[in-house]
Structure 1
């Protein structure tokens, strides 16, 4: 699949489920359905707004992230996760201490999502990082994903930090209780 196509499929899937069920059915451990999954989609960004963001950080934005912005200039989802609008990306990065060409694009409750466009510009599609609220970039978790794969995996894991999910069977049972 071509980079930038998965974000279209994932967003279409969300909208179809919400249209059909009135919500996005999220299955929690044990089979319980979380009924209050919410999605607040912003209006699309214009090409000028996207170019302004690239110019602001002197970067080439990843294709899949640009596709997302062209569909929705920001999104609040699952009651605690936010993908920032272009305006908020520029605003909130004023106080961030990140390496050159790295910038905050969203929040996950108490953590932050950061794009490392240095990687993307070198052809590496694994450019997305997660930082806890007080972490410096050198302590970031490499999500080994681009924007659209991260977003798809995040939804598949019901908004859980899939990169830290317990894989040991005994420990998993303990976490359900």
Structure 2
């Protein structure tokens, strides 16, 4: 995954440290999915001209708690949003990138937008 070559990016954050990544895992009481952990280590937050926001590490727990992903989308981690009311999620185990209306965090309502986080990023983070 080469986040620095992603077209349309407005701003990158500085990569998260291993200490920050471990702190997030303690908050979540889950291991961060490997691809997302790598992305955060490369850029702690991404802002794209298509409205996509990939959350900075300090926002991940709060956003998951606030939008109900922790409660209603167990097994998934919200990693960002489209700035239009839809969350971007990845599974803690397995692969795929999903989008869902933040008002319905039910996995039955998820739409798959990428086979993997690496694939989705490498293909330009296309949003439907």
User: TM bucket by the smaller chain?
Assistant: 0.7 to 0.9
Q: Distance in 1 between matches of 2:78 and 2:112?
A: 14
Gap change, CA 1:90 and 1:11, over 3 Å in 2 = same
Is the CA contact 1:58–1:101 (under 8 Å) kept in the aligned structure 2?
no
TM-score (norm: length of structure 2): 0.81
Give 5+ residue unaligned stretches, structure 1: 1-6, 15-23, 25-36, 165-177
Which structure has more helix as a fraction of its residues?
1
Is the CA contact 2:3–2:42 (under 8 Å) kept in the aligned structure 1?
no
Gap change, CA 1:47 and 1:101, over 3 Å in 2 = same
Give 5+ residue unaligned stretches, structure 2: none
Q: Tell me the C-alpha RMSD between the 2 structures.
A: 2.0
TM-score (norm: length of structure 1): 0.61
Give the counterpart of 1:94 among 58, 62, 65. 65
| Bigger relative CO (Cα 8 Å, ≥ 6 apart) | 2
Which structure has more strand as a fraction of its residues?
2
**Greater Cα radius of gyration, structure 1 or 2:** 1
